[in-house]
């Protein structure tokens, strides 16, 4: 399955997805990226809506399945 053409994931959203897929918490991801945890939460919420995921586990699964992250 590939990314649907109408789904636009920003580079920052993809970066956050990659760290979450590595098992990092949102707090750890914020520290790694030098941003606030609130910013990580905002990006995660936005990409979750784009992929119609109800939680972070489903978000990562959909991102992997659609090829957004590998």
Angle at 52 between CA 15 and CA 40, to 5 degrees: 35
**Considering the domain 11-65 in this protein, what is its CATH number?**
1.10.10.10
Residue 51 in this model has a pLDDT that exceeds 80: yes
Please determine, for residue 3, whether its predicted confidence score (pLDDT) is greater than 60. no
Angle, nearest 10°, between helix axes 11-21 and 26-33?
130
Q: What percent of the chain has pLDDT over 90?
A: 90
Query: What average pLDDT score do residues 41-53 get?
Result: 97
Helical H runs in the chain?
A: 11-21, 26-33, 37-51, 56-65
User: Rounded to two decimals, what is the model's pTM?
Assistant: 0.88
Q: Work out the average pLDDT over 13-26.
A: 97
- 42 DSSP assignment: H
Neighbours of 8 (CB within 10 A): 9
Q: What is the pLDDT of residue 2?
A: 57
């Amino acid at each position: 399955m590939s990314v649907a053409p109408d789904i636009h994931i920003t580079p920052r959203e993809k970066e956050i997805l990659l760290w979450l897929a590595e098992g990092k918490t949102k707090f750890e991801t914020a520290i790694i990226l030098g941003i606030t945890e609130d910013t990580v939460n905002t990006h995660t919420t936005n990409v979750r809506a784009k992929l119609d995921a109800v939680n972070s586990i489903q978000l990562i699964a959909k991102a992997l399945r659609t090829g957004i992250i590998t």
